[in-house]
A and B are shown apart, each in its own frame.
Chain A
Amino acid sequence: MKYKSQAVAKPYFIAAIGLFLAQVIFGIILGIQYVVGDFLFPEIPFNVARMVHTNALIVWLLMGFMGAAYYLIPEESERELYAPWLAHLMFWIFLIAAALTVIGYLAVPYARLAEMTGNDILPTMGREFLEQPTITKVGIVIVALAFLFNIGMTVLKGRKTVVSLVMLIGLVGLAVFFLFSFYNPTNLVLDKFFWWWVVHLWVEGVWELIMGAMLAFVLIKTTGVDREVVEKWLYIIIAMALITGIIGTGHHFYWIGPPEYWQWWGSIFSALEPLPFFMMTVFAFNMVNQRRRNHPNKAAVLWALGTAVLAFLGAGVWGFLHTLAPVNYYTHGSQITAAHGHLAFYGAYVLINITMISYAMPLLNGREANSMRSQVLEMWAFWLMSISMVFITLFLTAAGILQIFLQRYTETPLPFMVVQEKVALFYWLRVISGLVFLGGLGTYIASFFVAAHDAKHPQAIEAGKVQPSPAAV
């Protein structure tokens, strides 16, 4: 850590991991409800658990992005953060708003929550991923504006690098496109059309800029490769992301009312959407192969390479699998969508956040890298979570193919619920994979405590009981 104010990133990272744990626990509840339909009913119905699962994901990824920005922007700008106190204040506002929202989801019926929060004044609730009460949405906008002001001023007053510029463009885009969540006309087609301006233009647009900047930052730091080389890669990756991803939004417009020409625009451009992710993989491996130093934080490098590979698999390959209109005609809104969603979010956005946390947390705690013991635990966590997520994806894909055949493709299509029972085996296997994933996350959390313990007891290392951090070698 070069600048004192980078420390504001730490609470963001801790809260992010806490929410990640909540997300996974609710994910397992959902997985069980898929096979034991009345599990926790009527106390926690499926829709409530799902809101907690998806909203916790969104909030912790945003927490991670903000933490990452507060960490990397001062270092790139070569100056202290413009207003560290504002970053601290916004952290608490964001965390309390998120906590109150989740309590609201769990404590009262959703309709009552809508009533209590004045949804009828400006109705924005009840749309997938945007279920937050309108006042929470307003809170998110305020936090985002204060955050952008803070890092924007830091960038303006300091050294301007491509990494910080791309990060800033991505974050501004994130805030701008979120504003479409306030547009909710009765016309269902218009509602859905512009809903995608938030959802698609986030995850297949500006978030890729944020991800690219974070990956570039960690690779510069851990490989020592010349910044010029990294920046050229970064530009070309994000260029491809936006060139393919903006018109690629069309792959959501096939069956929700807009004209049929979107089937051509959407298919052609979204078929190219794997390209930026493929380039990210090539980029990450190239940089690590050409490294000029061996950074002692081996775990961070593993997370970075894992991000590049699994983002390509989840977002790229699994996205391509069902993006062409004639295929999507059958796969739209099936378990194939769920399979893609899981591996894409995990590979791209969960892993880039953990990469950043894994790189920055030891530095925020005053050491270049954690003890080897702690890093080995992190590597175990990486493999446990990644392999179990790949299996979750494979099981959901199998369930999806069967579902599509039985419900949509065969001459004698069966009703939805009949089909759900026929594919239950794969839902059981998915729950088991989910439990392994939880074990991986537990291992990851444990690695922080082991790192803290080993840092506090260096004598254990001297006595040869524990392997030292590679930083000390």
Chain B
Amino acid sequence: MAQVFTKSMARNIFYGGSVFFILLFLALTLDTSFALPERDQRHQLDLSTEVGQRIAKGKELWETNNCIGCHTLLGEGAYFAPELGNIYTRFGNNKEAIKAFIQSRPAMGIPGRRSMPQFNFSDEELDAIAEFLKYSSEINTAGWPPNIQG
């Protein structure tokens, strides 16, 4: 039995299998990159437009304030606070509502409850964040999340 399946056969399966599936993965990635323009709202990201600039600024603020450390975005991140990939639709397609919520967080928190920190964003920064979240909500996510609650 031991002679039927040798170490060199095992080695060949490892090298052959790995190379084959790496190539397949790269091919699928290439195909995905052709399909993405229809799905990822990249036309909004044009930096020569005001919307594009706001989205870029919004993503930067999203990152430099570590929002992903509590929230999920398209289901990825921490599970401590609500999903934000569809917050724009959950807040009634209203950027002002998003801005008002972020602005109104108490600096010292809420006794006994989870609370978002007060980040003291300027109005311009709030606009950028809201624009970024609107853009996120318009990405084609194959119908996820299952409902408005995220």
Q: Which residues of A contact B (CB under 8 A)?
A: 33-34, 36-38, 41-42, 45-48, 50-51, 110-111, 114-115, 119-120, 123, 125-128, 131, 162, 184, 186-190, 192-193, 228-229, 231-232, 235-236, 238-239, 242-243, 246-247, 249-250, 253-260, 262-263, 265, 329-330, 332-335, 337-338, 407-409, 413-417, 420
A50 to B114, CA, bound (A): 15
Contact status of A37 and B115, CB under 8 A, knowing A125-B63, A257-B36:
yes
Q: Decide if B10 touches A114 in the complex (CB within 8 Å).
A: no
Which residues of A sit under 8 angstroms from B77, Cβ to Cβ?
A: 128, 333
A189 to B32, CA, bound (A): 11
Q: Decide if A257 touches B141 in the complex (CB within 8 Å).
A: yes
Which residues of B sit under 8 angstroms from A246, Cβ to Cβ?
A: 18, 21-22, 24-25
Most B Cβ at <10 Å: residue of A228, A332, A338, A417: A332
Partner of B7, one of A110, A228, A259: A228
Which residues of B sit under 8 angstroms from A413, Cβ to Cβ?
A: 146-149
Contact status of A46 and B78, CB under 8 A, knowing A126-B62, A187-B42:
yes
A257 to B35, CA, bound (A): 10
Q: Decide if B115 touches A38 in the complex (CB within 8 Å).
A: yes
Closest Cβ–Cβ distance, residue A257 to chain B (whole Å): 5
Interface membership of chain B positions 71-96, coded 1 if the CB is closer than 8 angstroms to chain A and 0 otherwise: 01111111111110000000000000
**Interchain residue pairs with CB less than 8 A apart (18):** A33-B80, A33-B114, A46-B81, A47-B80, A110-B65, A110-B66, A123-B60, A127-B68, A189-B40, A190-B36, A190-B40, A257-B74, A258-B39, A332-B75, A407-B150, A409-B146, A416-B82, A416-B149
How many positions in chain B have a CB within 8 Å of any CB in the partner chain? 75
Q: Decide if B117 touches A45 in the complex (CB within 8 Å).
A: yes
Closest Cβ–Cβ distance, residue B37 to chain A (whole Å): 10
Closest Cβ–Cβ distance, residue B38 to chain A (whole Å): 9
Q: Decide if A111 touches B65 in the complex (CB within 8 Å).
A: yes
A152 to B129, CA, bound (A): 46
**10 further interface pairs, Cβ-Cβ under 8 Å (given A187-B42, A265-B28):** A38-B114, A38-B115, A47-B67, A48-B69, A127-B63, A243-B18, A255-B141, A255-B142, A259-B35, A333-B72
Which residues of A sit under 8 angstroms from B80, Cβ to Cβ?
A: 33-34, 46-47, 50
Closest Cβ–Cβ distance, residue B35 to chain A (whole Å): 5
Q: Decide if A416 touches B69 in the complex (CB within 8 Å).
A: no
Which residues of B sit under 8 angstroms from A332, Cβ to Cβ?
A: 75, 144-145
A-B pairs with lowest CB-CB distance, top 9: A47-B69, A126-B63, A333-B75, A37-B114, A255-B144, A235-B10, A239-B14, A189-B40, A416-B82
A193 to B114, CA, bound (A): 31
Closest Cβ–Cβ distance, residue B133 to chain A (whole Å): 10
Which residues of B sit under 8 angstroms from A123, Cβ to Cβ?
A: 60, 63-64
Q: Decide if A119 touches B64 in the complex (CB within 8 Å).
A: yes
Q: Decide if B17 touches A329 in the complex (CB within 8 Å).
A: no
Which residues of A sit under 8 angstroms from B35, Cβ to Cβ?
A: 258-259
Partner of A259, one of B24, B39, B115: B39
Interface membership of chain B positions 103-129, coded 1 if the CB is closer than 8 angstroms to chain A and 0 otherwise: 000011111111101110000000000
Q: Decide if B17 touches A189 in the complex (CB within 8 Å).
A: no
Most A Cβ at <10 Å: residue of B78, B114, B118, B148: B114
- A48 nearest CB neighbor, chain B only: B69
Q: Decide if B14 touches A37 in the complex (CB within 8 Å).
A: no
- B13 nearest CB neighbor, chain A only: A239
Q: Decide if B10 touches A239 in the complex (CB within 8 Å).
A: yes
- B42 nearest CB neighbor, chain A only: A187
Contact status of A338 and B79, CB under 8 A, knowing A235-B7, A247-B21:
yes
Interface assignment of B97: CB less than 8 Å from any CB of chain A: no
Closest Cβ–Cβ distance, residue A287 to chain B (whole Å): 14
Q: Decide if B108 touches A42 in the complex (CB within 8 Å).
A: yes
A391 to B25, CA, bound (A): 36
Q: Decide if A38 touches B113 in the complex (CB within 8 Å).
A: yes
Q: Decide if B146 touches A256 in the complex (CB within 8 Å).
A: no
Closest Cβ–Cβ distance, residue A111 to chain B (whole Å): 5
Which residues of B sit under 8 angstroms from A37, Cβ to Cβ?
A: 109-110, 112-115
Closest Cβ–Cβ distance, residue B52 to chain A (whole Å): 8
Contact status of A188 and B139, CB under 8 A, knowing A42-B107, A46-B70, A128-B78:
yes
Q: Decide if A329 touches B40 in the complex (CB within 8 Å).
A: no
- B141 nearest CB neighbor, chain A only: A255
- A331 nearest CB neighbor, chain B only: B75
Which residues of B sit under 8 angstroms from A420, Cβ to Cβ?
A: 114
Which residues of B sit under 8 angstroms from A262, Cβ to Cβ?
A: 28, 32
A123 to B81, CA, bound (A): 24
Closest Cβ–Cβ distance, residue A29 to chain B (whole Å): 12
Partner of B75, one of A247, A250, A255, A259: A255
Most A Cβ at <10 Å: residue of B11, B79, B81, B118: B79
Q: Decide if A256 touches B21 in the complex (CB within 8 Å).
A: no
Which residues of A sit under 8 angstroms from B147, Cβ to Cβ?
A: 408, 413
Which residues of B sit under 8 angstroms from A229, Cβ to Cβ?
A: 2
Interface assignment of B99: CB less than 8 Å from any CB of chain A: no
